[in-house]
């Protein structure tokens, strides 16, 4: 059986990932592709418990990174890899690039330490396509402020998100073969078209 494709959505909080998730789902449906939706941190019963701690409890950057990768290890083995092996596509709201952006860029953790965890948990496994929703930090923050409640990450200061955004763009520059950088300041229709065109190339 042909292996499914692994698609990830990345970007700073407020960049518009959730809005375009429906477009991605519709594009896969129109192409007759079976898929599952998941997220990080989370995606499994254990992962969702870790997610609640990560988003709401204060902790050191090291603890944060280790919990993220613990959740990811469970997620890979229990959800992502089994689904891909049956031919289904997996769409994940965030994956390892988020750790390099948030714990690496945002928290200032050494990338080499994160790379060790990445290799240990994933053993070379990477997404087939990563959509990076890029938006100026001040615009993303303005969008976030419309929410009634913000989690621990969403409450971070603007300089934190500047570092996260820069780390994401650095990551995209390192892996251009799988990254598609989307300008989230463009109209939803323009972004949707770019996503649909990218998915079409993966379906060939």
Q: pLDDT tens-digit profile of 112-155?
A: 999 999 999 999 999 999 999 999 988 878 877 776 677 788 77
So what's the pLDDT on residue 143?
78
> What CATH number is attached to the domain comprising 79?
3.40.50.300
Q: How many domains does the chain have?
A: 1
**188 belongs to a structural domain:** yes
Q: What is the DSSP string of 24-81?
A: HHHHHHHTT--EEEEESS-SSHHHHHHHHHHHHS---HHHHHHHHHHHHHHHIIIIIH
**126 belongs to a structural domain:** yes
**1 belongs to a structural domain:** no
Sign of the alpha-carbon torsion through 85, 89, 90, 95: positive
**161 belongs to a structural domain:** yes
So what's the pLDDT on residue 14?
78
So what's the pLDDT on residue 147?
67
pLDDT above 90 covers a percentage of the chain that reads: 74
Residues 6+ apart with CB under 8 A from 169: 132, 134, 181
Residue 131 backbone phi and psi in degrees, to 5? -95, 115
To the nearest whole number, what is the mean pLDDT of the chain?
93
**46 belongs to a structural domain:** yes
**28 belongs to a structural domain:** yes
- pTM, to two decimals: 0.94
Average pLDDT over residues 72-87: 98
pLDDT digit string, tens, across residues 11-52: 988 777 888 888 888 889 888 999 999 999 999 999 999 999
- Three-state DSSP class for residue 8: strand
**196 belongs to a structural domain:** yes
**154 belongs to a structural domain:** yes
Question: With 90 as the cut, is the pLDDT of residue 61 above it?
Answer: yes
Instruction: Show the domain range for 44.
Output: 6-203
């Amino acid at each position: 059986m042909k292996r499914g494709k692994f698609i990830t959505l990345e970007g700073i909080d407020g960049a518009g990932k959730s809005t375009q998730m429906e477009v991605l789902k519709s594009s896969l449906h129109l192409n007759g592709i079976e898929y599952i939706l998941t997220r990080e941190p989370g995606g499994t019963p254990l992962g969702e418990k870790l997610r609640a701690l990560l988003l709401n409890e204060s902790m050191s950057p090291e603890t944060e990174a280790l919990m993220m990768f613990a959740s990811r290890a469970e997620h890979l083995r229990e959800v992502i890899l089994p689904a891909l092996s049956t031919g289904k596509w997996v769409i994940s709201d965030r994956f390892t690039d988020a750790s390099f952006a948030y714990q690496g860029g945002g928290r200032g953790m050494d990338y080499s330490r994160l790379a060790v965890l990445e290799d240990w948990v994933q053993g070379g496994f990477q997404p087939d396509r990563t959509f990076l929703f890029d938006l100026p930090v001040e615009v993303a923050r303005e969008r976030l402020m419309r929410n009634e409640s913000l989690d621990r990450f969403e409450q971070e200061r603007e300089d934190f998100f500047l570092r996260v955004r820069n780390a994401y763009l650095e990551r995209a520059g390192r892996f251009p073969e799988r990254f598609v950088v989307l300008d989230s300041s463009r109209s939803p229709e323009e972004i949707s078209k770019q996503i649909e065109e990218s998915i079409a190339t993966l379906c060939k």
